[in-house]
Structure 1
Amino acid sequence: MLSKWVTAFAPAVWGTTYYVTTEHLPPDRPLLAGLLRALPAGLLLVAVTRRLPSGEWWWRSLVLGTLNIGVFLPLLFLAAYRLPGGVAATVGAVQPLLVAGLAVVLLGQRVTARVALAGLAGVAGVALLVLRADARLDAVGVAAALGGAVSMAAGVVLGKRWAAPAPLPAVTGWQLVAGGVVLLPVALLVEGLPPALTAENVGGFAYLGLVGGAPAYALWFRGVRELAATQVTFLGLLSPVVATAVGWLALGQGFTAWQAVGAAVVLGALVVAQRRVAPRERTAVGR
């Protein structure tokens, strides 16, 4: 039980990213924010642990870092630019269902009715929480949001399949560095060099790296290692709940009765998905 709620710290912190980005960072630099959340934190962890990948973990770290960070973040921000936030979050909420499907192929884990219904409820709850009636659709934006969900889902399932031979801080550092290196040329090409930064900007970037970077990703990857893949991915539904709560409390944004219902549905789906995994639901890898 403790592992689940410790892991939940990561998506809860990531739910504050929108507030920090809009209120404390320079405008129109989302890729820079993602880069500075990943690369410095990863380099710090590698320096502290003094451990580099060996053998097949060079390419495995590159694959996992690319899926979890290097591809996921650009697609996430592209979706945010092309779609209203509610649409992007609703499309992204299909991630638990994607993880469940990939777990069948890669982990030998069957999809139960409980997980499927909880996944559908999660999508519906996020839609009630963040979707607006006047939301518009954009094909590129929807494809980016779906691609980001697929990328992160694949990262979760492969991270579960590949048992790392090193301590968690080292493995986290490898993935953050790999993802940051992949993201670096994208950020420079799309956004260019950053403007002069204020003390407030530096503080915001420090928060993303020191709170939303190394410790959050370490706890997330710890959850991937110790919990069932579907249990971990459902915890990601906390992000839109926290983002909505922060917008209400810190920015004075409205909070309707339907949003309250949506939040309750999301939390209910999350709790149902965290039920103890029956032996028949465990992965073939874990047997």
Structure 2
Amino acid sequence: MNKYQTLMNVTLTAMAPIVWGSTYIVTTELLPADLPLLASVIRALGAGLVLLLFCKIRPSGIWWGKIAVLGLLNIGLFFYCLFAAAYYLPGGLAALVMSIQPLIVMGLGVIFFQNKLSVTHVASAVVGVTGISLLVLNSAVELNWWGVLIGLIGTCSMALGILLTKYWGRPKGMSLRDFTGWQLTLGGLMLLPIALWHEDFPQTLTALNITGYAYLSLIGGVFGYFVWFRGIEKLNPVTTSFLGFLSSVSACLLGYIFLGQSFTQLQIIGSVAIIVSVYMARPKQEKQPSTLTQAPVTSSHR
């Protein structure tokens, strides 16, 4: 892979967390209040069903189980923990707990996939987590250990999902579109009963509500997860996980542009630190990629 291809893959993959950073402003400004899990179901299940309308290949054999596991890790369990952590913790602290994902990806990669631990990646993670803390934390933070635990479970869920997505690849002959659609659909179906148990469907929907849900499904779901899973295939999983830092920068920048929120000097420093950490973790040309990096994009196992 040449430098141009690498840059293109990084840029395209980065669009996913940048788009996901808009979820907060869309949820608060366009959607009915206090229905975060329902919004997650609509984003995942709506996007998945749209993609499956064009589906040509279904999973078969062992791949039903594998894609169900990936749907649980990348979508269902992660979404639930994301919103549950935000309920128990201030938003800034919840984001900080979730931001250690690259460290978990590196740790799990070393333990289970025999990846080499890079000093540069560790340093990048430290810089990135520091940047997140400067960007999102405020002076009054109340620590709830139950919320921290849920946040860590969600972070581990997505980290393991990234690694298994890279390691397993996808079924032979199945397109990335179909692969993404099945994960979103199965993950959304797993989350659906929990959302219906905890939340009530709104009796009426305005044009703004419908626009917001459509944005989450088509842009945040179809586009976001398609380029994200594509990035997992094309890039080192550690590099992919670092790109997730951009979601916090995007959320703050959109709040500044559309909601009149202000940036403090510490937040500006934090944003710069995040961008530096992503740059430090960028892919480098290697003669012999790691075992995980060499995993095939597709698999003949069914």
Q: TM-score range by the shorter chain?
A: over 0.9
1:138-149 alignment, distance < 5 Å:
138-149=144-155
Letter in 2 for 1:257: Q
Please point out which of 31, 36, 42 is paired with 2:37: 31
Identity of aligned residues (%): 45
- 2:278 is aligned with 1:270: yes
- 2:28 is aligned with 1:22: yes
- Match of residue 79 from structure 2: 73
- Match of residue 242 from structure 1: 250
TM-score by length of 1: 0.97
Letter in 2 for 1:214: V
- 2:227 is aligned with 1:219: yes
Question: Which runs of 5 or more structure 2 residues have no equivalent in the other structure?
Answer: 1-6, 296-302
1:64, 1:198 → 2: CA distance?
34
- 2:202 is aligned with 1:194: yes
Q: Is the 8 A contact 1:118 1:270 kept in 2?
A: yes
1:109, 1:198 → 2: CA distance?
50
Please point out which of 124, 128, 132 is paired with 2:134: 128
Letter in 2 for 1:213: G
Please point out which of 172, 178, 192 is paired with 1:184: 192
Poorly superposed stretches of 4+, deviation over 4 Å: none
1:66, 1:52 → 2: CA distance?
18
In structure 2, relative to structure 1, the CA distance for the partners of 1:150 and 1:277 (3 Å cut) is farther
Q: 1:280 Cα deviation (Å)?
A: 5.3
Q: 1:254 Cα deviation (Å)?
A: 1.8
Question: Which runs of 5 or more structure 1 residues have no equivalent in the other structure?
Answer: none
Deviations 1:136-177 (A, max 9, x none): 111121111111111100100000100112110000011001
**SS of equivalent residue, structure 2 residue 138:** coil
Q: Is the 8 A contact 2:236 2:293 kept in 1?
A: no
Q: 1:48 Cα deviation (Å)?
A: 0.5
Deviates more, 1:192-201 or 1:234-243: 192-201
Q: Is the 8 A contact 1:16 1:242 kept in 2?
A: yes
TM-score by length of 2: 0.92
**SS of equivalent residue, structure 2 residue 142:** coil
Q: 1:218 Cα deviation (Å)?
A: 0.6
Letter in 1 for 2:278: L
Q: Is the 8 A contact 1:15 1:241 kept in 2?
A: yes
Q: 1:281 Cα deviation (Å)?
A: 5.4
- 2:164 is aligned with 1:158: yes
In structure 2, relative to structure 1, the CA distance for the partners of 1:284 and 1:16 (3 Å cut) is closer
Q: Is the 8 A contact 1:92 1:149 kept in 2?
A: yes
Q: 1:195 Cα deviation (Å)?
A: 2.9
In structure 2, relative to structure 1, the CA distance for the partners of 1:66 and 1:284 (3 Å cut) is closer
